[in-house]
Each structure stands twice: as C-alpha cells, then as structure tokens.
Amino acid sequence: MNTISPAAAVVDSTERQAASARPTGFAHDTAAVFVRESRPLVRDPFSVVFSLVQPLVFLGLFGPLLVGAAGGDVAGTLQWFVPGILVMVALFGTASTGANLLFEMQTGSHERTLVAPLSRGALLVGRALKDVVPLVIQGTIVVLVAVPFGFGVDAAGLIAGLAVLGVFGVGFGALSYSLALACRNRDWMFWMVHQTLLFPLMILSGMLLPLDDGPEWMRVVAAANPLSYLVGAERALLAGDFGDADVAGGVVAAIATCAVGLAVGVRAMRRAR
C-alpha cells in the first residue's frame, strides 16, 4: 500500500491552497487594501488632527501678515489664503505617505503583502485612496477654523473642491509610493527628494504669496506647476464660482496628476520584489 509521508501531505496541501488562491477582482482587492490601510486611522484618529499643525501655523502666523499687506481686509485675505492652505494640506499629506511604505519594507511586512493573492495594481490604488480620507477631514477642519474669522464658504463649492483635491491626492500619493519603492535601500534619498521638490512646488504655486508681481521666470515656472491651477480652482470653487475658467484648469491638472501618478505607481508596484 502506498503511503504519503506527513511532509509530503503538508506540501500537497500547501500547493492545493496556492492553486486555489486567485485574485478576487481589482475592485475587491482595492477595497481590501483600503480597509487594511485605514485601520491605523480608526485606531488613532488624533494623528489626523495632529498633522494639521503645520497648515494651521501657516494660517495663524502667515495670515496676519497678509492681512496687514491687504490694508486690514481680513475677510478678503482669508478668501484668498484659505484655499491655498487646503492645497497645502493635500500636498504635505500625500507627499509623505511613501514614508509609511518605507517603514513596511524595512520591517518586512511589505514583502508579505506582495505574495498575497492580490492585484499589484490594487496594492497601490488602495493605498492611494486611503490618503483621501485624512485629506477630506483635515480640509474640512481648516475651513471650520477659518469661518469664525470671516471666511465665507459655499457648501457645494467646498464639496467640489475637496473632490478635486482628492483626485490630485490619489495621484500625488501614488508618486510618493513610487519614490519610496525606488529608494527602498536608501531612505535618506526619499527625504532629500521630498524636501527638494516640496517647497519649490509650494512657493511657485501662489498659495502663500501672489506671483503677479514676481520676476518673469517665476511666472513661467508657475505656469508649468499643476499646483498653480489647483490653487486657482480652489479659490473659485470655495467662493461658489463654478463657471470660472480656473476651475477647468484645476480639474484638468488634478486628473493629469492622478493619471500620471497611478501609471507610474502601478508600474513600480508590479516590478517590486
């Protein structure tokens, strides 16, 4: 009688389980990754609030300087400045998300997710979608903080503005993950690229200071900066001016950033080992 050794039985069982494991569909896999990545936010919701310190510092300390330059027009200054702060929230919040992936790669948990029966593209998209949740919460908090000081906001415009920022955040977060994958053995390079690009993008978008009176080269560079169009769109949307030409420019910039970020990110995730 032929007998099967315990070791052979274990191998056979493992092979049958592996053969039966199949990706369950891109949408299902994306939702599973989204839920997994969102659990830390549920367990520690205060981290979302604490990450608002930097934007609120800009609002509280930089805002009064702009009010003084505007001749004391608090409400008008806030209408101009607060939308830029929302774009800042999206920029800073999504640009640093790759650091979480770096930590997972250093601890080995990322390698375990790569062997799971999940679509590689879903691993990236689910992570990027998770970044939209704190972005929406933080953006809403910033607006609520500014309202008592005279900031007027159109409710429908706020929803539309957050949606546009969410689309941008998915793409920019995907680029951050791509950078983390490229710097997996040199985490210092991630932060060097992060800091080298982040502040020029911020300053050359007009979110903090108007660039109309700046040198010509600044205006030329700003015209190629997608954040410039996002800032213009947010100012129009939060004021309820949906017909402003800046809205279309911001939507196109957000969609283009999302498309490029997901294309680059999915390709990098599929090549990850």
- Within a domain: 262: yes
Calpha distance 246→80 (Å, rounded): 14
Report which DSSP code applies to 58: I
Spatial CA neighbour of 269 closest among 116, 165, 145: 116
Query: For position 6, what pLDDT does the model report?
Result: 45
Q: Is the pTM of this model over 0.85?
A: no
Residue 48 in any domain: the answer is yes
Q: How many domains does the chain have?
A: 1
Please report, for residues 150, 166, 168, 195, 258, the alpha-carbon distance to residue 122 in angstroms, rounded to integers and kept in the order given: 43, 18, 18, 28, 15
Residue 118 Ramachandran class (φ > 0 left, ψ -120 to 50 alpha, else beta):
beta
| Rg of the Cα atoms in the chain | 22
From residue 168, alpha-carbon distances to 7, 161, 185 in Å are 52, 11, 28
Q: Which residues of the chain have pLDDT under 70?
A: 1-24, 110, 115, 272-273
**What is the per-residue pLDDT for 68?**
83
pLDDT at res. 269? 81
> Has residue 8 been placed in a domain?
no
Q: Give residue 55's pLDDT.
A: 85
User: Does 197 map to a domain?
Assistant: yes
Kindly report, residue by residue over 9-64, the tens digit of the pLDDT: 433 443 344 334 444 687 888 888 888 878 877 777 777 777 778 888 888 888 88
Is 19 part of any domain? no
pLDDT at 273: 64
Range of the domain at 59: 30-271
In a domain, 13, yes or no: no
Q: Is residue 194 assigned to a domain?
A: yes
**What is d(CA 86, CA 207) in angstroms, rounded to the nearest whole number?**
9
In 21-73, alpha helices (H):
26-43, 46-50, 53-57, 63-69
Determine contact, residues 34/129, Cβ cutoff 8 Å.
Answer: yes
**Alpha helix locations (H) across the chain?**
6-20, 26-43, 46-50, 53-57, 63-69, 74-95, 98-107, 109-114, 120-130, 132-146, 155-182, 187-203, 216-223, 226-238, 245-271
Report if residue 7 sits inside a domain. no
Q: For residue 71, is it left (φ>0), alpha (ψ between -120 and 50) or beta?
A: left
